């Protein structure tokens, strides 16, 4: 059997073909992108987006077995409620596809394990390879046992996903969770140890952004920069954001008026309330609001607001700025921090407008500390 050969292939000094196969991603690039979106949306519990990603993945040739296995595995990382709800979403998608006459490939189920299979021994070996060294969680022996025997023993032994597949799925899912950067970085290392290539890992952020998962993509980029490139700058910058406010979509409509990248999340179309996210160093041009007062409420990070001829004012969470009508000004992030602010117009008059002016020069910006 495939699984039996795999389980005992690495006990000797030679690496077998079976072991090599488990250390190779089985998805093509398109399928891997959809699997990343599936895993991340499962972690975020966004089941509408998850259904769309599942449909796209099935259309691209992912099998029901592969997706089912991914969603089952993720209970170990995101919890049973998300995993069960995600599996329920998969069922609904399959029912809908069947009613529409769409083709769906079932795929093969995992091979049975031999009767003498030792989950703790095999799991210890897999965990050591993934971690790059023996790992023992002495503080909580029960958790250590669960990790070795169940996660890396029982779950990783199921051969309808390779070890490389499982780590790409785990990295993608952890990108969807806040405040788990140490685990995300550890699984980037684990993915590399399990055969996922640099290029395959670097494809994850683009896959997430395609589904509007911008902040999640930035977490992945920060983890990759730290682990692969040895550059902690993005990670430290991202830690300053620490925000539950959505980053939104790239602010392409106004990109010509910004230095750096900004992102726009429309929170209330009726009132025009938006959340604008500025990456480190990003700022908008000098501009003037005619016929309206612009309200700015900083909700995360650190940035600057400046009126023409006056000193710049720091923007920190809780700072509220009422930009007077007709006053030339700019606002943006600090050099080393993301910044998010809410914005809307007050006292808006009919025919109100924005007048965009010259950029804030590097000389003007660099003196701010």
The count of other CB atoms within 10 Å of the CB of residue 5 is 15
Judged on CB neighbours under 10 Å (0-12, 13-18, 19+), 164 is buried
Q: 334-369 burial, b for 16+ CB within 10 Å, e for fewer?
A: beebbbbbbbbbeeeeeeeeeeeeebbeeeebeebe
Task: Look at the block and give the residue holding tokens 């700022």.
Answer: 283
Q: What is the DSSP string of 124-145?
A: HHHHHHHHTS----TT-HHHHH
Q: Are 290 and 349 contacting, i.e. CB atoms less than 8 angstroms apart?
A: no
- In this structure, the strands spanning 273-278 and 249-250 are unpaired
Cα 238 to Cα 115, 223, 264, 337, distances in angstroms = 48, 10, 17, 7
SS3 177: coil
Q: Are 277 and 265 contacting, i.e. CB atoms less than 8 angstroms apart?
A: yes
Which domains, and CATH codes, for the chain? 2-117+157-239 (1.20.1290.10), 249-366 (2.60.120.10)
Q: Which pLDDT score, from 0 to 100, does residue 163 have?
A: 97
In a 13 Å sphere around the CA of 324, the CA atoms on its Cβ side amount to: 6
**Helices 64-73 and 47-59 sit at what angle, rounded to 10 degrees?**
140
Tell me which of 8 and 300 has the higher pLDDT.
300
The reported pTM is 0.80
Q: Are 316 and 243 contacting, i.e. CB atoms less than 8 angstroms apart?
A: no
For residue 183, give the nearest of 81, 87, 78 by alpha carbon: 78
Write the pLDDT tens digit of every residue in 158-213: 999 999 999 999 999 999 998 899 999 999 999 999 999 999 999 999 999 999 89
Write the pLDDT tens digit of every residue in 40-99: 999 999 999 999 999 999 999 999 999 999 999 999 999 999 999 999 999 999 999 999
19 pLDDT band (50/70/90 cuts)?
A: low
Task: Look at the block and give the residue holding tokens 């004012």.
Answer: 313
pLDDT at 20 exceeding the cut of 70? no
Largest CA distance in the chain: 80
Structure letter (DSSP) for residue 40: H
Structure letter (DSSP) for residue 260: S
Element (H, E) at 289: strand 287-290
The β-bridge partners of 297 are: 320, 342
For residue 50, give the nearest of 13, 78, 90, 18 by alpha carbon: 90
**Helices 163-174 and 181-193 sit at what angle, rounded to 10 degrees?**
160
CA–CA gap between residue 215 and residue 220 (Å, rounded):
9
Write the pLDDT tens digit of every residue in 333-345: 999 999 999 999 9
Q: Which pLDDT score, from 0 to 100, does residue 235 have?
A: 83
Structure tokens that stand for 203 in this block: 């494809």
Structure tokens that stand for 309 in this block: 């001829």
């Amino acid at each position: 059997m495939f699984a039996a050969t795999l389980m005992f292939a690495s006990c000797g000094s030679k690496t077998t073909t079976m072991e090599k196969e488990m250390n190779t991603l089985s998805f093509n690039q398109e399928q891997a992108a959809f699997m990343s979106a599936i895993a991340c949306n499962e972690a975020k519990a966004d089941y509408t987006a998850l259904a769309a990603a599942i449909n796209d993945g099935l259309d691209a040739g992912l099998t029901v077995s592969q997706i089912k296995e991914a969603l089952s595995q993720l209970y170990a990382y995101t919890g049973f409620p998300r995993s069960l709800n995600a599996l329920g979403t998969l069922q609904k998608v399959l029912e809908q596809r069947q009613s529409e006459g769409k083709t769906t490939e079932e795929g093969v189920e995992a091979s049975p394990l031999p009767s003498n299979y030792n989950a703790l021994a095999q799991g210890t070996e897999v965990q050591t390879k993934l971690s790059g060294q023996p790992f023992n969680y002495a503080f909580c022996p029960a958790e250590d046992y669960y990790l070795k025997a169940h996660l890396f023993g029982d779950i990783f032994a199921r051969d309808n996903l390779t070890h490389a597949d499982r780590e790409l799925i785990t990295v993608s899912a952890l990108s969807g969770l806040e405040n788990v950067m140490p685990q995300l970085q550890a699984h980037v290392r684990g993915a590399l140890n399990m055969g996922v290539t640099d290029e395959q890992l670097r494809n994850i952020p683009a896959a997430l952004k395609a589904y509007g998962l911008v902040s999640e993509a930035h977490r992945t980029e920060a983890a990759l920069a730290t682990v692969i490139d040895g550059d902690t700058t993005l990670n430290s910058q991202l830690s300053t954001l620490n925000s539950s406010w959505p980053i939104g979509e790239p602010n392409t409509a106004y990109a010509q008026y910004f230095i750096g990248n900004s992102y726009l999340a429309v929170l209330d179309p009726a009132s025009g309330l938006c959340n604008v996210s500025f990456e480190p160093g990003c700022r908008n041009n000098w501009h003037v609001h005619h016929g309206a007062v612009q309200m700015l409420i900083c909700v995360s990070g650190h940035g600057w607001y400046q009126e023409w001829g006056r000193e710049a004012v720091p923007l920190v969470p809780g700072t509220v700025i009422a930009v007077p009508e007709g006053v030339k000004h700019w606002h943006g992030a600090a050099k080393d921090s993301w910044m998010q602010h809410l914005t809307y117009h007050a006292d808006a008059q009919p025919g109100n407008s924005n007048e965009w002016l010259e950029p804030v020069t590097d000389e003007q910006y660099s003196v701010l500390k």
